[in-house]
Amino acid sequence: MMFVCLFKFLVDNRKLCEAPYHKTVDWAKWYIFWADERVVGKTHADSNYKLAKDGLLSKVPVVPSHVNSINDSVSAEEAADDYEFHIRQLVKTRTINVSDNSDCPKFDLILLGMGPDGHVASLFPNHPMLDQKSEWVTFITDSPKPPPERITFTLPVINSASNVAVVVTGESKAEAVHLAIDDVGPDYLSLPARLVQPTKGKLVWFLDKPAASKLDGFQFSE
């Protein structure tokens, strides 16, 4: 089965919606979760669920019950607790596997974006939630980027995935890409994007030319 956790659906997904992929991919095996979500209604412009649904999920035959969105009718704290309980139930029934080296769920793929400040999911620089180890899903009510109320996977869950893909585009994020990837010294070791280090999985960065422009030794060939 394919377990996919979406942040923002930043990858160009048009090909998946077209022939032959929309018919040849075994969509019945896909289970969709959100690595982070804004606590807003599902039709709200800020909803990651709406972004994913409009861009992909409404165009491919994913089983509706396999799309695991948050409860947006409660507080951020309650939404995080509810989402973690839901995931734990799926682990108990072995719908989701458990990581070999922790009790965390082991997702096949976690897809992340990154902000200009180096945040991933809703894990922001210098925020106490970066140190959260015991919970799978946590919440924040003071996001420096609106909307303020969000739920997010914690770093142990992200780093337990089999594959993590970080997709970054645009010149405005070039400095953060440099600080996240290059050897820039100890001052930036706590940058959230640097803390994405899968324990037994693979980490892949997908960058466009502007986003990669400040990497040490960067060269781009047409």
- Residue at 174 is within a domain: yes
pLDDT computed for residue 221 by the predictor: 58
pLDDT digits (tens, 9 = 90+) for 56-75: 899 889 999 999 999 999 99
Domains held by the chain: number:
1
- Residue at 121 is within a domain: yes
- Residue at 219 is within a domain: no
- Residue at 103 is within a domain: yes
122 vs 60, residue with greater confidence: 122
- Residue at 89 is within a domain: yes
- Residue at 124 is within a domain: yes
Domain range for 129: 2-212
Say what the pTM is.
0.92
| Spacing of C-alpha 135 from chain mean position | 16
Q: Are 117 and 110 within 8 A, CB to CB?
A: no
To which H or E segment does residue 49 belong? helix 48-55
Q: Tell me, what CATH number does 14's domain have?
A: 3.40.50.1360
- Residue at 203 is within a domain: yes
Burial class (CB in 10 A: 0-12, 13-18, 19+), 186: exposed
pLDDT computed for residue 179 by the predictor: 96
Interatomic CA distance for residues 207 and 212, integer angstroms: 6
